[in-house]
Amino acid sequence: MSDPTPTSADDGVTAARRLALNEDWAATIVGLLLLALVLTGLLPGWLVP
Amino acid sequence: MAEQTDNRHIGADPNRATATDAAELQQGGPAPLPLQQGHHAATTADRGDRWTPGPALAGVAVVVALAALTRFLEQTVPAAAKGTAFAGIAAAVEFPVYAILLGLLGNLVLTRLGLRDRLAGGFRTEFFIKTGLVLLGASINFAIVLTAAGPAILQALVLISVVFGFTWWLGGRLGLDDRLRALLSSAVSICGISAAIAAAGAVQAKREQLAYTASLVVVFALPSIFLLPAIANRLGLSQAVAGAWIGGNIDTTAAVSAAGALAGEQALQLATIVKTTQNALLGVVAVALTAYFAVKVERSATSGPSTTSARPSAAQLWARFPKFVLGFLTASVIGTLYVATVGSTAAKPLIATVNDLRTLFLILAFVSIGLEFRVAPLREAGWRPVGVFAGATAVNLLVGLLLATLLFSGFSA
């Protein structure tokens, strides 16, 4: 490879990867939480625009 | 642009830097550094500013406002145009079109005002689309997921292998850096930006290479959203084949949902199942890339043994597995069990509410796609990576159409 020291570039990539993983979990939790709220009747249809 | 890049904080405190960084990477903000020659990125000490939640929240507010406007136009325009010459067009234009166009318009206005880059932390396409897909899972009977799983896995395996291999080969022929080749190959063959991020970690790519690849994904995905459903319609493809083709071809998951929504409900479901299958295989490809770069590329570059372990582990696979796939499957199981328990008549209004929520999150994601769109980095990077991506997309389209027709022609759930 032409660049043997990809130092801080890796930090940016690592940060992006960490965020992608966090967003994966966040989306899973928010999606399932909303589903549970609707199915248990706590989030009525009229509240959803 | 280079000055702008050097002023960004990227590493001193990753937990605080992540939102801005990924927003930049998704929109291709700091891309215009040389991609095919060695570049020593600025050290973290050079980067003074830190991410603050204020501008990101303002960005989210912009997305929500444009989503509300999308909803308003979607509901009022067809009625308002009734009896006029535009009635047919107004009835045919669906929410993904309004959302993306309003996102692009917002992009233009914010860029002119010099606010776009500051607000970009709030344009969270990945979060919105994945939440929407988890909710979509609730409306898909788990039997359909199981029935489609076989052909979807087969299509994904063949398509990823062929398209990844072709992109890697073409990138080599055109003299691209190995890391950029890995990023482009992963993005075009698996699932766009998410795959590029995973591959970037696997091959230790440069930050600007990742940002550039993300820009390329969005630039190619945007026209595909409109072209693929139109071509599928012109070719007379069934909903299942159209969905499988769209899901296997369009790189980024958000754009797959937009195109699927335009093609029809069953097409959306099949496109989502096929795309989710590709997402699930992301971890396997990322681990394989890690091993390949550790064993072959790094070793040949340094002429010595690599310090990185080349043996992939279950922990690595799990770390790189996209977790929202589990949410999608769980929602499908919950929705199926719920309908079976209370009966379809009682469940119908509640599932309809879940679908409204899903549409809401898809609109937020589509608005974000428009807000993230950026062409400047592509102009500055030269034609070779664009040529590789375009060639790979063409191969993806043809092989994908063949596989979708072979595997999903007789599909019924």
Query: Are B109 and B243 part of one and the same domain?
Result: no
B143/B148 Cα distance (integer angstroms): 8
Nearest by CB: B11 against A11, A19, A26: A11
Q: Alpha carbon B294 to chain centroid distance?
A: 27
Structural domain boundaries enclosing B403: 124-413
Please tell me whether residue A42 adopts helix, strand or coil conformation.
coil
Residue B95 included in any domain: yes
Query: Are B198 and B84 part of one and the same domain?
Result: no
Query: Are B192 and B81 part of one and the same domain?
Result: no
CA torsion through residues B194, B199, B204, B205, sign: negative
Its pTM surpasses 0.80: no
Query: Are B316 and B339 part of one and the same domain?
Result: yes
Residue B14 included in any domain: no
Alpha helices in chain A (DSSP H): 7-39
Residue B6 included in any domain: no
Q: Which residue of B has its CA nearest to A31?
A: B131
Say yes or no for a CB contact (<8 Å) between A12 and B335.
no
| Of the residues B123, B156, B171, the one at which a domain ends | B123
Query: Are B115 and B134 part of one and the same domain?
Result: no
Q: Which residues of B touch A16 (CB under 8 A)?
A: 18, 21-22, 25, 197, 200, 210
Instruction: From B63, B212, B207, B199, select the one nearest B126 (Cα to Cα).
Output: B63
- A37 close contact with B: CB closer than 8 A: no
Say yes or no for a CB contact (<8 Å) between B357 and A1.
no
Structure tokens at B45: 């000490």
Residue B26 included in any domain: no
Do the Cβ atoms of B256 and B129 come closer than 8 Å?
Answer: no
B201/A10 Cα distance (integer angstroms): 8
pLDDT confidence of residue B370 = 87
Query: Are B266 and B286 part of one and the same domain?
Result: yes
Nearest by CB: A6 against B17, B71, B204: B204
Query: Are B187 and B135 part of one and the same domain?
Result: yes
Q: Rg of chain A's alpha carbons, rounded to an integer?
A: 20
Structure tokens at B344: 């379809």
| Of the residues B69, B95, B123, the one at which a domain ends | B123
Residue B404 included in any domain: yes
B244/B402 Cα distance (integer angstroms): 11
Please tell me whether residue B184 adopts helix, strand or coil conformation.
helix
Q: Which residue of A has its CA nearest to B12?
A: A11
Tell me the pLDDT of chain B (413 aa) as tens digits: 333 333 332 223 333 333 333 344 444 333 333 333 333 333 233 333 445 678 889 999 999 999 999 999 988 988 888 888 777 777 767 788 889 899 999 999 999 999 998 998 899 888 998 898 899 889 888 888 888 888 998 998 999 999 999 999 999 999 898 889 999 999 998 878 778 877 887 787 877 787 788 778 888 888 898 899 999 999 999 999 999 999 998 888 888 988 998 999 899 999 999 988 888 887 778 778 877 877 766 555 555 444 445 556 677 777 777 788 889 889 999 999 999 999 989 999 999 999 999 989 989 988 998 898 877 766 766 789 999 999 999 999 999 999 999 999 887 76
Query: Are B102 and B231 part of one and the same domain?
Result: no
Query: Are B148 and B112 part of one and the same domain?
Result: no
Q: Which residues of B touch A15 (CB under 8 A)?
A: 10-11, 14, 17-18, 21-22
Q: Which residue of B has its CA nearest to A17?
A: B197
Q: Alpha carbon B142 to chain centroid distance?
A: 24
Do the Cβ atoms of B401 and B145 come closer than 8 Å?
Answer: no
Nearest by CB: B331 against A25, A26, A32: A32
Residue B18 included in any domain: no
Indicate the Cα dihedral angle B245, B248, B249, B254, nearest 10°.
110
Residue B201 included in any domain: yes
Query: Are B180 and B328 part of one and the same domain?
Result: yes
Query: Are B374 and B266 part of one and the same domain?
Result: yes
Q: Work out the minimum CA distance from B46 to partner chain A, whole angstroms.
A: 10
| Of the residues B123, B156, B179, the one at which a domain ends | B123
Q: Which residues of A touch B357 (CB under 8 A)?
A: 34, 38, 48
Say yes or no for a CB contact (<8 Å) between B353 and A12.
no
Q: Work out the minimum CA distance from A42 to partner chain B, whole angstroms.
A: 11
Instruction: From B131, B404, B367, select the one nearest B271 (Cα to Cα).
Output: B404
The domain total for chain B is 2
Q: Which residues of A touch B131 (CB under 8 A)?
A: 26-27, 30-31, 34
ipTM of this model? 0.76
Nearest by CB: A24 against B323, B338, B356: B323
Residue B35 included in any domain: no
pLDDT confidence of residue B22 = 39
Query: Are B105 and B139 part of one and the same domain?
Result: no
